[in-house]
Each structure stands twice: as C-alpha cells, then as structure tokens.
Amino acid sequence: MAGGGSWRWLCVLRARQLGALLRGRCRCLGVSAASRLVEAGLQPRLDKFGGLSLHLAQLRSPDSLDTATFQGWLQDSVKQWKAEGQKAIWLHVPILQSRFIAAAAEQGFTFHHAESDCATLTLWLGEGCSKLPHYATHQLGVAGAVLNTNTGKVLVVQDRNKTTNVWKFPGGLSEPGEDIGNTAVREVFEETGIKSEFKSLLSIRQQHRHPGAFGKSDMYIICRLDPYSFDISFCQQECLRCEWIDLAELAKTKDTTPITTNVARLLLYGYKEGFDKIDLTMKEFPAVYTGLFYKLYHRELPDDYRNTTNL
Amino acid sequence: MAGGGSWRWLCVLRARQLGALLRGRCRCLGVSAASRLVEAGLQPRLDKFGGLSLHLAQLRSPDSLDTATFQGWLQDSVKQWKAEGQKAIWLHVPILQSRFIAAAAEQGFTFHHAESDCATLTLWLGEGCSKLPHYATHQLGVAGAVLNTNTGKVLVVQDRNKTTNVWKFPGGLSEPGEDIGNTAVREVFEETGIKSEFKSLLSIRQQHRHPGAFGKSDMYIICRLDPYSFDISFCQQECLRCEWIDLAELAKTKDTTPITTNVARLLLYGYKEGFDKIDLTMKEFPAVYTGLFYKLYHRELPDDYRNTTNL
C-alpha cells in the first residue's frame, strides 16, 4: 500500500505505546493549560497520523474567546505536550475562526493544507525535520487518443491559446474523485464533441514544479479511446482547430509535441501489430479502506499466468 | 499538455481581451474602493488563471490596517470588480496576516489551498460553478518489485502496523518533486537496506477518497527494480518481516494483497518470457515551461517505429 515510510513508524509508536496513556493524560491535566483548552471544548484526539489533533470547530463559544487568551493557552499547552513526548499537533481551523491562525503561527504552526472552509495547520514537536505526511503533491491531466480503426485516423486539436500550430490529443485536468478513463472521455467530448469509450492507458508523464499546478507536480496520462461518434463539433473557446488526421502523418509531423509524437508512433505500432503490444488494461478491485472500488492498470496477463494452478 | 479545459477559455478571454484594459482601469479607479486597496499597497494583478490576484504580503502597513476597514474595502472592491466583468479573485494571505481571512470569507472567499506560511483564497464572480483549476488532487505512492533474476526471488515486507501477515512490495509516499523511480529506490533502501536500480514501471492504481491522503486521491505505482545488494537489513520500526521469496510462491500465496498478486504474476510472466512483455520504459525530455526535464513512460517502441523514415 502507498504510505509515507517516514511517518509510519510514528503511527506504530503512537498507537501502541502512547495511545491509551495519552487519552488518560488529556483528561487529567487538572489546572494545566491543556485542560483549559478541554474546558473550552477542545478535546485533543490521537490522530491517525500519530499526532494530537484539535478541531477549533468544537469550541463552545468561539466568539467570546479572544486570540490573546487562545495564544496563551496554546503556548502553555504546546510546552506541556512537548514535555509529555508528543511528536506533532494538528490544528483544524474553520475559515470564520481564522483569527486564531496567526496566534498559532506565533507558536510555530504552519499551514499543512486548506480547502473550502477549513485550514489545517501542523506543529512538529519531534526531533529533526517533520515526519508528517505531505498533502497531495500531484495534479492529474488526462488526454484521449481516439483512433478510428476503420480509417486509421486519430482525433487531434490545436489549442486556441497557443501561438504555434501544434497538434495534440484533446484532454484536460481530472476533476476530484474522477477516474482516469472518465476524464479522458469527458475532456474529449467537451473539446471535440466526439463520444468515445475508454480502452486502455498508453503513457504516463511526470513533471515537477509545474507552473499550471501552483508549483506542484503534474502527472499526465494518455489513454486509448474508441470513438462511437465521428462528426466533430469542437469547442470554439478552447480549440482553434480540430481534425481527424492520418495516424502515420501525426507520427511524422513536426507540428506537434514530443509526447504526441511518441504516443502517435506507439499507437501506430499497436494499430499495425495489435493493441496488446501497447495497452495497459484496467481491472477493478474492492478497496479495503473505503468500501469503494479502485482501478489497477498494467499489461494484460496471458491466461497461463492468471490461474494459480498453472504457476 | 495537461490543463483544465474549463479554465483555459477563461485565460484566453482574459489575456487577450481584458489584460491591458484591466491594468489601466486598476490604475485609474480614482476614489473607488479598489483604489484604496492600491493605495494600501495592494495592486491587483492579472493572474495566469485569468482572475485578479491580490497579495496581502504587499500591504505597506499591515499592522495598522484593521480587519473591519479591510473588509469594507474588499466588499466595495468586489462589487466594483464584478460590475467590471471580472470572473475571479485570488487572495494570497501570509499566515501572520490571517486575521484578514475571516473578513474575506464574509465576502464569500474560500480556501483554494495553503502551504507552509501562505494561504490562497478564491472568489468566483462568473456565472455558474467556479471554473478555476483545482489544487493538487493526488498523493503518489511508489513501491519497488526488486527481482533477483539469478535466483527468481523477489523482495517483500510485512508492515509492522498491520494485524495480518500480508506480504507486499516495499514502498511509500513520494516526496515533493521526486521522480517515480527515485521514490521506489529510496523507499526500498529505507525499509529493507537493499540497494537497487530503476528498470521500468509495471502498474498504476488510482484510488479515491483515500483516508491516508486527507480524503484526496491516491495514485500507487509499482516499479521493477534490479538489486545490486542482497543482504537484508530491514527497518524494525516499519517492518515486521522482510525476505527474499520465490516469485512463483508470491504469485500463488493468499498472504498478500490483490495488487501484489497481480504484479507478482506479471513479473513472473516477464521473468519467464522477457521483461519487454511487461515493462513501461522511461525516456526523458526537456520541459517547455520550466527548463527542467520530464519523464515519459510507455511500452518500448520497436526500432522500426522510432524513425520517421520508416513510418
């Protein structure tokens, strides 16, 4: 499973050695600073990542708590938690209570992430650099290489906001929670009006410090799609041109990007010699954690290797 | 190129039609609310995403500006910008100026993202749902399937913090800006003490609403690695067990995850019939935007398809 090696040991340590003890301590802090937080409604909880977690949404009377008082409580509590051997504090702040953020920052808290109406700050109390997991590091872009196998023509577009005439596969950013294949099919339809079906995954590109990704990394996946409509009706706002062009032409032309050239050649190889030579096919599995399903993509396994008895 | 189709048209519209005009307007707002923001140091700039961008770090005297005054200015400015046809406002707030966040939230601003010592809020002024691009949506986990081709044995671990005896490939979360192959090699070494080299990419899994990813999506990639050390010295904090086990055994055992089973079978197929049957190999290209290099992974192209002249 994916999981940050650096914080996993912390989870183990916290969950096994400090968990029960910690909850006990938080309840019996007596006249301590942390107990004043608890009286105000802030019951620190052991976080799944192995730190203490405070949710300011639980404050009983947030409007009557001034930032100086909160800052004093937090300062004393942090000292106490550190003395108790806590490794990290997570602070969840509703946007309308954001006046407490600067107070926390004065104690060394920084933003871990924020979205919509809540910010999450962290303070690392352990030794060395923070071992807490990072927030999401990648945006995901997906394009669709829609090939009409009857004509050998593939669907390409030219972006309206680019100066050069560069053919590329239609595509765009994945929506939160959207499957790779669905992004490809949706973006192809939005840009070109062509309806299509996901067949396989062809290529993956990773690019760091992407200016269009707020400095985060960009993952860009090209999928192979089968068309089931053929009349182009392209988005005039996004595209300058949209055409079905000969795949061999696309593989040769200089009016394109290196990725498009590579994937066009790959697609030509698959078209001539069998798509099993180029495809990563998809299989669905139930997820342990969420009760949802996840999708796994890899080369198709021959029948001989699918059954345990043959191995 | 990856890029949110939904906001691309906005960029075009803004950059071409409103850019110069807008900057002119901002300078000549006279006694307007927006001009008071400018006087305070906040010069709104046309953002690459097609909205107006304000950086509170530019405030000349942030400590002498009270939140009520700021809120009044912002309220009036938002009205004015909306009347001018602006589609979106981006507000960048240094953590120590976070008292202004709640004031902005009262005007409808929400968190777009936050990291370290800065939060970015947005307000969508256009029609319908926001067409601004999302922040990073995926965390990336990478594991390494290290196969000793002399013995047919593969390196596996059992996590210390899992209750069941489940064999899996060592791996963990990618660090920001880290290449896929480097994550695999680093995590394998940290967990097992085995030194290895990246060979190829074998599988990709996408899983949404991942509890270990703060509710974001998880991308999990397994790479094929060649070992160049063989004596295990595993991390006792992370792993309960670490062994070289027979690849055919791993492909059959029930003491593992569905993904590990699938990839073990795939690896067995490659081991017996040639790794070209299973590998996505890597190629590096110069990036247009950043001056850095990016990495592209797909099936290896036969020589016949690499040269334009043959196509």
Q: Residue by residue, what is the 3-state secondary structure of A228-291? A: CCCCCCCCCCCEEEEEEEEHHHHHHCCCECHHHHHHHHHHHHHHHHCHHHCCEEEEEEECCCCC
For the cut 70, the answer to whether the pLDDT of residue A48 exceeds it is yes
Question: ipTM > 0.85?
Answer: yes
Answer with the residue of higher pLDDT: B184 or A31: B184
For the cut 90, the answer to whether the pLDDT of residue B28 exceeds it is no
Beta-carbon separation of A2 and B268 below 8 A: no
State the pLDDT at residue A134: 93
Token pair of B253, please? 């055992």
Using alpha carbons, list the distances in angstroms from residue B274 to B202, B225, B268, B278, B305. 13, 15, 9, 8, 20
Rounded Cα distance, B126 and B216, in Å? 26
Task: Looking at the structure, give the CATH architecture of the domain made up of residues B5-124.
Answer: 3-Layer(aba) Sandwich (3.40)
Beta-carbon separation of A204 and B298 below 8 A: yes
State the pLDDT at residue B29: 40
Beta-carbon separation of A266 and B301 below 8 A: yes
Q: Which fold has domain B138-284?
A: Nucleoside Triphosphate Pyrophosphohydrolase (3.90.79)
Select the residue of B2, B118, B171 nearest A173 (Cβ to Cβ).
B2
Give the start-to-end residue ranges of the domains of chain B. Answer: 5-124, 138-284
Mean pLDDT of A226-232: 97
The minimum CA-CA distance between A89 and chain B, rounded to whole Å, is: 15
Token pair of B142, please? 């990478």
Select the residue of B116, B191, B213 nearest A110 (Cβ to Cβ).
B116
- Rounded to 10 degrees, the C-alpha dihedral A204/A208/A211/A215 comes to 130
Q: What percent of chain A stands above pLDDT 70?
A: 88
State the pLDDT at residue A25: 46
Answer with the residue of higher pLDDT: B151 or B22: B151
Scored b (16 or more CB within 10 A) or e, A43-61 reads bbbbbebbbbbbbbeebee
Neighbours of A128 (CB within 10 A): 6
Mean pLDDT of B39-49: 82
Centroid of chain to Cα B160: 28
Helix (H), strand (E) at residue B10: helix B5-13
Residue B250 near residue B264, CB atoms below 8 Å: yes
State the pLDDT at residue B267: 97
Work out the mean pLDDT of chain B and round it to a whole number.
Answer: 88
Tell me the per-residue pLDDT of B158-177, one tens digit each, with 9 for 90 and over. 998 776 789 999 999 999 99
Interface test with A, best of B110, B129, B207 (most A CBs within 10 A): B207
Same topology for domains A5-124 and A138-284, yes or no? no
Mean pLDDT of B115-133: 94
Interface test with B, best of A7, A71, A91, A111 (most B CBs within 10 A): A111
Mean pLDDT of B67-71: 94
For the cut 80, the answer to whether the pLDDT of residue A50 exceeds it is no
